[in-house]
A and B are shown apart, each in its own frame.
Chain A
C-alpha cells in the first residue's frame, strides 16, 4: 500500500511537471527540435532541470543498500549498447518529431487535445504491441 501511494504521488508530480513545463504542447516540442529553423530552446530547461535533480539525488539514493519501501532497486537488466537500442531510439525520435508527442504528453493530451490523442494514442499502443512481438 505504501508503494502504491508513493507511485501515485510520483505520477501526480510528473503529470503536473509535464503540463507546467509545456512539454504537453506539441508545437513547442517541435519548435524545440527545430534546431536549424525557428529554434525555441526553452524546453532544454525541462530536461536540464529534471536531469539536474536526478543526477544529484541518485548519488545519495544509490548509496543505500535498499530503497526505503522496497527490498531492492529494480534496475535495467540490459546494459549493452546494441543495434536494437539505436534502431529503437532512432524510430522513437522520428515519431516524436512527426507529432511533437512522446508517451507521457501523449497520454495527458487525451484531456487537452482529444482529437489528436484519439489518433496518436491507439497508434502508440499498437506500435508498442508490435515492438513487444519483435522483442520476444
Chain B
C-alpha cells in the first residue's frame, strides 16, 4: 500500500502547500502564480507591491533551477500550433477567471472559497475533456 503512493508527487505537493501557507501567514498574500505574473506585467504598482511579486517569481524560477536536472524525458516535436493556442487559452482564461491551479486550486480551496472550488472543478473537467478529445481524435 505504502509503495503505491507516489512519494515525489506527495512531497512536492506538501512543499507547494507550505509555500502558500508561508506567504499567507507572513505577508497576507495569496500564492497565485497567474495573478502575480499579470500584476507585475500589466499593472502600474508601487515599489513594495512590485517588489514582493518579483521576489516570488525569482524564487519560483530559482527553486525550480535548484531541483534540476529533472528525471523525465523531454517532450520533443510537439505541435507549435497547439502550444501557442494553449498559451493563449491559459492566459485569457486565468485572467478572466482570476486564477490558475495555484490561486484557485491550492490557495482558494485551502481557504474554503466557493468560487475557487467551482473554478477548480470547472478547469479539471474541461482539461479532462480536452485531453480526451486531443488523444482520441487529434493526436
Evaluate contact between B95 and A128: CB separation under 8 angstroms.
Answer: yes
Chain B hits for A93, CB < 8 A: 93, 122-130
Count A-B contacts at CB 8 Å: 478
The main secondary structure of chain A at its interface with chain B is helix
Candidates A13, A19, A68; contact of B18 at CB < 8 Å? A13
> What's the least CB distance linking B61 to chain A, in Å?
6
Chain A hits for B10, CB < 8 A: 21, 45-46, 48-49
**Contact residues of B between 105 and 123, Cβ < 8 Å to A:** 105-115, 118-120, 122-123
Closest to A130 in B: B92
B interface size (C-beta, 8 A): 107
Q: State whether A47 and B59 are in contact (beta carbons under 8 Å apart), knowing that A23-B12, A130-B91 are contacts in the complex.
A: no
User: For the complex, what is the distance from the CA of A105 to the CA of B75, rounded to whole Å?
Assistant: 14
Chain A hits for B72, CB < 8 A: 22, 25, 27-28
Q: State whether A16 and B95 are in contact (beta carbons under 8 Å apart), knowing that A36-B132, A37-B136, A45-B5 are contacts in the complex.
A: no
Evaluate contact between B94 and A92: CB separation under 8 angstroms.
Answer: yes
User: For the complex, what is the distance from the CA of A132 to the CA of B35, rounded to whole Å?
Assistant: 11
Evaluate contact between A7 and B92: CB separation under 8 angstroms.
Answer: no
Q: Determine if B85 is an interface residue (Cβ-Cβ < 8 Å).
A: yes
| Max chain A Cβ within 10 angstroms of own Cβ: one of B12, B65, B67 | B12
Evaluate contact between B87 and A84: CB separation under 8 angstroms.
Answer: no
Q: Determine if B45 is an interface residue (Cβ-Cβ < 8 Å).
A: no
Q: State whether A18 and B12 are in contact (beta carbons under 8 Å apart), knowing that A88-B97, A92-B90 are contacts in the complex.
A: yes
User: For the complex, what is the distance from the CA of A95 to the CA of B108, rounded to whole Å?
Assistant: 21
Evaluate contact between B60 and A21: CB separation under 8 angstroms.
Answer: no
User: For the complex, what is the distance from the CA of A23 to the CA of B104, rounded to whole Å?
Assistant: 16
> What's the least CB distance linking B16 to chain A, in Å?
4
> What's the least CB distance linking A126 to chain B, in Å?
6
Evaluate contact between B61 and A88: CB separation under 8 angstroms.
Answer: no
User: For the complex, what is the distance from the CA of A132 to the CA of B98, rounded to whole Å?
Assistant: 10
Chain A hits for B130, CB < 8 A: 33, 93-94, 96-98
Query: Which B residues fall within an 8 A CB radius of A?
Result: 5-6, 8-31, 33-34, 37-38, 41-42, 48, 51-53, 55-68, 70-72, 74-76, 78, 80, 82-98, 100-102, 104-115, 118-120, 122-132, 134-136
